[in-house]
C-alpha cells in the first residue's frame, strides 16, 4: 500500500508541484489549504508524513505543529518562505523533523521525505532496542524512555534518536553530516543547522546529566563521560 503524504499549503501551485513529484515516486498525496483542516486531517487520515507550510490561514504552521506534537509523532517537514533562522529554529524546537525554504527543489523534497520515512521504518523494525546506562543516564530503547537519576525526561522522536546514537557510541565524535545521515537518514549534504538546534534542545532538557554532550570544535559532537 502506498504511503500517504499530507501536503499543507495555501498555494495550490505548491501543492500541485509537490503532488506531481511525489505521485511519480509512488506516494499517495492528500492536501489541506488551511491549518485547522490540516490538523483535523492529520488526526483522521493518519498520514505517513506531513509537509507543512508556516504561513497558513486559520491556524499557522507553528501552531499546527505544536498541537499535533501533543497528539502524534507523525514526521513533519516544515516549509518557510523566509530564509530566516528564527522560523527554522522555532519549528524544530516545536517538534518538526526538518525544513525547506521556498522556493525549493521538488526533487530535494522527495529525497528528504524518503530519508525520514526510511529512518522511521528502521526504528519500527528494530527487534532488539538497546538499553544504555552511563553515569546517571539510562536509556530504554524499547520503551523509548530516558532517565537522569530518578527523573524521567520527555524527549521528542529525533531528540531521542540523537541521544541514543551518541550514547551507544560513547566518546566517538560524530560530524554534523554523519548525524544527519545516521539520525535523519540523509544520504546527501543537508542543513547541519538542524543538528545544532536539536543538540541545544537536548542540552537544555538534560541539565544535570553525566555524561555530557561535548562540542568538538570544527568537527561535531560526542557524548563523553565526565
> What ranges do the domains of the chain cover?
4-124, 131-224
pLDDT digits (tens, 9 = 90+) for 112-121: 898 888 776 6
Starting at the edge strand found earlier in the chain, the sheet holding 151-153 runs 131-134, 137-140, 145-148, 151-153
Q: Quick check: 127 pLDDT over 50? A: no
> CB under 8 Å to 224, separation ≥6 — which residues?
170, 171, 211, 212, 214
Name the residue with higher pLDDT: 85 or 214: 214
User: 131-224 architecture in CATH?
Assistant: Orthogonal Bundle (1.10)
The residues with which 51 forms a beta bridge, in sequence order, are 7, 77
Across the beta sheet with 28-32, the strand order is 28-32, 4-8, 49-53, 76-80, 98-101
- The better pLDDT of the pair 61, 88 is held by 61
**pLDDT surpasses 60 at 144:** yes
Q: pTM for the whole thing?
A: 0.67
Better-predicted residue by pLDDT, 77 or 97: 77
Same fold, 4-124 and 131-224: no
Domain 4-124 has CATH 3.40.50.2300: yes
Amino acid at each position: 500500500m502506498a504511503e500517504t503524504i499530507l501536503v499543507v499549503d495555501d498555494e495550490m501551485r505548491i501543492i500541485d508541484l509537490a503532488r506531481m513529484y511525489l505521485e511519480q515516486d509512488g506516494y499517495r498525496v492528500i492536501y489541506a489549504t488551511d491549518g485547522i483542516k490540516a490538523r483535523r486531517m492529520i488526526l483522521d487520515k493518519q498520514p505517513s508524513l506531513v509537509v507543512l507550510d508556516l504561513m497558513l490561514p486559520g491556524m499557522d504552521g507553528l501552531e499546527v505543529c505544536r498541537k499535533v506534537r501533543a497528539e502524534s509523532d507523525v514526521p513533519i517537514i516544515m516549509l518557510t518562505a523566509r530564509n530566516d533562522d528564527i522560523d527554522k529554529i522555532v519549528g524544530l524546537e516545536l517538534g518538526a523533523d526538518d525544513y525547506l525554504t521556498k522556493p525549493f527543489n521538488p526533487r530535494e523534497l522527495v529525497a528528504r521525505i524518503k530519508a525520514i520515512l526510511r529512518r522511521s521504518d528502521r526504528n519500527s523494525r528494530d527487534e532488539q532496542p538497546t538499553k544504555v546506562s552511563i553515569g546517571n543516564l539510562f536509556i530504554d530503547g524499547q520503551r523509548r524512555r530516558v532517565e537522569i537519576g530518578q527523573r524521567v525526561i520527555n524527549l521528542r522522536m529525533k531528540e531521542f534518536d540523537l541521544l541514543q546514537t551518541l550514547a551507544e557510541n560513547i566518546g566517538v565524535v560524530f560530524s554534523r553530516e554523519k548525524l544527519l545521515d545516521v539520525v535523519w537518514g540523509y544520504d546527501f549534504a543537508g542543513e547541519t543547522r538542524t543538528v545544532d538546534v536539536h543538540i541545544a534542545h537536548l542540552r537544555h532538557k538534560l541539565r544535570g546529566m553525566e555524561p555530557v554532550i561535548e562540542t568538538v570544535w570544527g568537527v561535531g559532537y560526542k557524548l563523553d563521560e565526565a
